[in-house]
């Protein structure tokens, strides 16, 4: 859904959106491969770390910076 905007998109629609987002063209692309690439891209989008920088040095650092997330 985060790639095409709808959860019921076909494999062809997912492939077309990935080619647009990532700016590549490969006419003989494998649709199962684009499913895997879409999953990886969704994981990247949801990581909230688009800069590639490390946010935390470990659990202690995470807990120190996020005290409200500890139960």
DSSP for 35-63 reads: HHHHHHHHHHHHTT-TT-----SSHHHHH
Question: Which of helix, strand or coil describes residue 64?
Answer: helix
- Whether the per-residue pLDDT at 36 is higher than 70: the answer is yes
pLDDT band at 49 (very low <50, low <70, confident <90, very high): low
Check: CB of residue 8 under 8 Å from CB of residue 31: no
The two three-digit tokens of residue 18, written as one number: 């990935």
Dist. CA 19–CA 31, nearest whole Å: 12
pLDDT at 68: 83
pLDDT at 24: 86
Does this model's pTM top 0.75? My answer is no
Check: CB of residue 37 under 8 Å from CB of residue 18: yes
């Amino acid at each position: 859904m985060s790639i095409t905007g709808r959860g019921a998109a076909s494999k062809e629609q997912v492939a077309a959106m990935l080619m647009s987002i990532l700016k590549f063209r490969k006419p003989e692309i494998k649709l199962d491969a684009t499913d895997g690439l879409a999953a990886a891209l969704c994981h990247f989008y949801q990581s909230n770390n688009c800069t590639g920088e490390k946010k935390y040095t470990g659990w202690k650092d995470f807990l120190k910076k996020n005290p409200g997330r500890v139960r």
